[in-house]
Amino acid sequence: MKLHEYQSKQIFAKYGIPIPRGRVAATPEEAKHIAEELGGRVVVKSQVLVGGRGKAGGIRLAKTSKEAEEVAGQILAMEIKGLPVRKVLVDEAAAIDKEIYLGITNDRAAHKPVMMASMAGGVEIEEVARQTPELIIKAHIDPLLGLRDYQSRDIAYKIDLPRDHWRVFGQIARGLWQAYLDCDASLAEINPLVITGENKLVALDGKMVLDDNALFRHTDLAEMRDLDIEAPSEIEARRYGLSFIKLDGSIGCMVNGAGLAMTTMDIIKLFGGEPANFLDIGGGASSEKVAAALRIILSDQNVKAVLFNVFGGITRGDEVARGILAALDEVKPQVPMVIRLVGTNAEEGLRMLANAKMITAETLADAAKKSVAIVKGGAAQ
Ligand code: GDP
Ligand code: MN
């Protein structure tokens, strides 16, 4: 889950990282109001969950509150990389002397978080990484020891940060690490961290990505999720506790178990088809869950067939069958459905489904072949 700039910066501030004064606005009038409050020059910043807003024209300076209102109106009417701008952050403008990059992410190869810093921060950091990677300094962080003070000093030294900033830089680095750790983030980034005209260090931009699998222990952070930018089907799926990822193929997959769901996708591809989604309905597939899953799968116009692959384990085959029957009754799908049901009480389950107009399959390979045949226009028997 990605956080907006204003959300990330609010978290950073709690960890002692200096940020500009400012607030978020949803209308030009609000933006004007905030600019009046702040007094002086402001920067109006689109809040969309993509990088490169500056280059796209989504970050603009305004000298007066009147100008802030105008600029906010223009930015709020924009779409950046396909995402509509619904909010702007109005911050007091900073005079920039130097733009520094500072970020923490997980280095999977090293099995450790890594802090990265560069004096060549700002909007071109990707270019820097590509063309002059030696300008990016890295320090791995031992998750048990945390970021050590000598490490942030070493980074400050290696990026040639003037010595009078080392103390505050150390405090910012420590704050960023603590925020990363406490929020179960997979990315915490300040780009740019600037040296201002008044020779102060300030985080002008902020970005955090949180680990979805840890959100259960961060209810306050989970509430920050911006539903505007997610596929509606994925939002709906989360509401029912389904693990769902939309894909581009034509065979809908209804499967219990993540491993089985991946196997199902693989075997569909093996027989020349393309899965329309990844879906794990999880254990205890109640009719409510199955119905929700079926609705979600069928809301995709590309879906020409649905493959049910169910292994009756802890959730028995007859329970799943009952769930499917209730779901079919509710959703009334118009596309052919193929089912492979094995495991505990599979026979009972299949008997219950006998009148459900589903195409039954003995094996997973058989089910995949039949599904592929349907979407390719050949009849399945
Ligand atoms: P991004 O393009 O999405 O990464 O958005 P940023 O918040 O990083 O802003 C992009 C660029 O706009 C920064 O690198 C700065 O050069 C510039 N910028 C942002 N805030 C200010 C500000 O307060 N004053 C000035 N002069 N420039 C700013
Ligand atoms: Mn930035």
Residue 95: phi, psi to the nearest 5?
-85, 130
Tokens of 29: 């009038």
- Tens-digit pLDDT profile for residues 51-79: 889 999 999 999 999 999 999 999 999 99
Q: What is residue 381's predicted lDDT score, i.e. its pLDDT?
A: 46
Confidence of residue 341 (pLDDT cuts 50, 70, 90): very high
CATH of domain 21-92: 3.30.1490.20
Ligand 1 atom index nearest CA of 205: 7
Strands 42-46 and 88-92: antiparallel
Active site annotation includes 101: yes
The Cα 85–Cα 46 span in angstroms is 6
Which ligand 1 atom is at minimum distance from the Cα of 122?
14
- Check if 123 has its Cβ closer than 6 Å to any atom of ligand 1: yes
For a mutational test of ligand 1's pocket, the pick from 48, 201, 204, 208, i.e. the residue with the most ligand atoms closer than 8 A to its C-beta, is 204
Q: φ, ψ for residue 104 (rounded to 5)?
A: -130, 135
pLDDT band at 379 (very low <50, low <70, confident <90, very high): low
Fold of 231-375: Rossmann fold (3.40.50)
Domain ranges of the chain: 21-92, 96-222, 231-375
∠ CA 220-257-373, rounded to 5°: 125
- 189 given a catalytic annotation: yes
Looking at residue 106, its pLDDT comes to: 97
pLDDT tens per residue, range 149-195: 999 999 999 999 999 999 999 999 999 999 999 999 999 999 999 99
Q: What is the pTM of this model?
A: 0.73
Q: Which residues of 180-196 are buried (b: 16+ CB within 10 A; e: fewer)?
A: bbebbbbbbbbbbbbbb
Q: Considering the candidates 101, 180, 240, 319, report the single residue annotated as catalytic.
A: 101
Helices (H) and strands (E) in the chain, counts: 13, 19
Residues 6+ apart with CB under 8 A from 231: 246
**From ligand 2's centre to the CA of 200, what distance in Å?**
18
What pLDDT is recorded for position 365? 97
* Pocket mutation for ligand 1, best pick of 59, 61, 96 (most atoms within 8 Å of C-beta): 59
CA 135 to each of CA 73, 121, 158, 194, 196: distance values in angstroms, whole numbers, following the listed order: 38, 10, 9, 17, 21
Q: Which residue among 6, 189, 240, 319 is the active-site one?
A: 189
CATH of the structural domain 96-222, one choice from 3.30.470.20, 1.10.1530.10, 3.40.50.300, 3.40.640.10:
3.30.470.20
- Residue 229: both structure tokens together: 């930018």
187 close to 208: Cβ distance less than 8 angstroms: yes
pLDDT at 133 over 60: yes
